[in-house]
Amino acid sequence: MKKRNNQVVFLAAAFLLMGGLFCGALADHDDDDRKYSKHHKKRYLNPVNNATYKEECGACHFAYQPELLPSGSWNKILGGLQDHFGETVKLDPASMKIIGEYLRANAAEHSSAKRAVKIMRSLGDRTPLRITETPYIREKHHEVSTNVLKRDSIGSLSNCTACHTKAETGIYDDDDVVIPR
C-alpha cells in the first residue's frame, strides 16, 4: 500500500511539474509581450502614405515602410544619395526635406508595430544602410537559399514584393508569402 501511495504522489508531482512547464512556455510564447502590452502594439507596419516619397523613391524600387529602419539609418541613406547603392540620386531640396522628415518621423524607433519593435531590438546600437542587414530580417529569411534569391523573379532579398504579396500594405505575415519560380 505504501508503495502505491508513493507512486501516486510521484505521478501527481510529475504532472504538476509538467503542467507548470507547459503553462510557462505558453505564457512566454512571445517575448515582446513582457515589455510591450498588446494594446500598445500594432500588428502591422503602416503602408507608405507620403506622395513625395512614393513618387521619388518608388520610381526606382519598392517604397519601403520607414518602420523597417531606424532614423539613423535613413539619415545615412539620405546623406549618401551621390552613391545610392551604385546609383546617383538627385532630389530637389524641397523633396529631400519632405522625404527626410517623413522617414525620420515614421522610423522604426517611433513605431509600436510588432516588426519594428523586433527590428529595433535586434539592432542594438547599429545603424545599417540596408534593411537586409538587420539581424531580425536576416533571421526571418535564414531558410531562403541563395539560389532562390538569385532567381530572375526575385533578384535579391531586397525585393520584398517578389514574395510578400501584401508588402505594400505593411503586412509581412508568413501566410501571405508566395515564393515565385
pLDDT of residue 72: 98
Model pLDDT for residues 78-120, shown as the tens digit of each residue: 999 999 999 999 999 999 999 999 999 999 999 999 999 999 9
The pairs formed by 154-160 with CB atoms below 8 angstroms and a separation of 24 or more are 154/179, 154/180, 156/132, 157/132, 158/61, 158/130, 158/131, 158/132, 159/62, 160/62, 160/64
Cα–Cα distance for residue pair 156/63, rounded to 1 Å: 16
Backbone φ, ψ for residue 177 (5° rounding): -95, 130
Q: Which helix (H) or strand (E) holds 56?
A: helix 51-57
H helix count then E strand count, the chain: 9, 0
Cα–Cα distance for residue pair 63/47, rounded to 1 Å: 9
Average pLDDT estimate for 66-70: 99
Of residues 40 and 90, which shows the higher confidence score? 90
| pTM: predicted TM-score of the whole model, two decimal places | 0.77
pLDDT of residue 5: 65
pLDDT of residue 37: 46
Answer whether 39's CB lies under 8 Å from 30's CB: no
Cα–Cα distance for residue pair 45/115, rounded to 1 Å: 7
Nearest to residue 174, comparing CAs of 117, 115, 118? 115
Contacts of 108 (CB under 8 A, 6+ apart): 66, 67, 68, 69, 70, 71, 116, 117, 119, 120
Cα–Cα distance for residue pair 75/101, rounded to 1 Å: 10
Confidence of residue 13 (pLDDT cuts 50, 70, 90): low
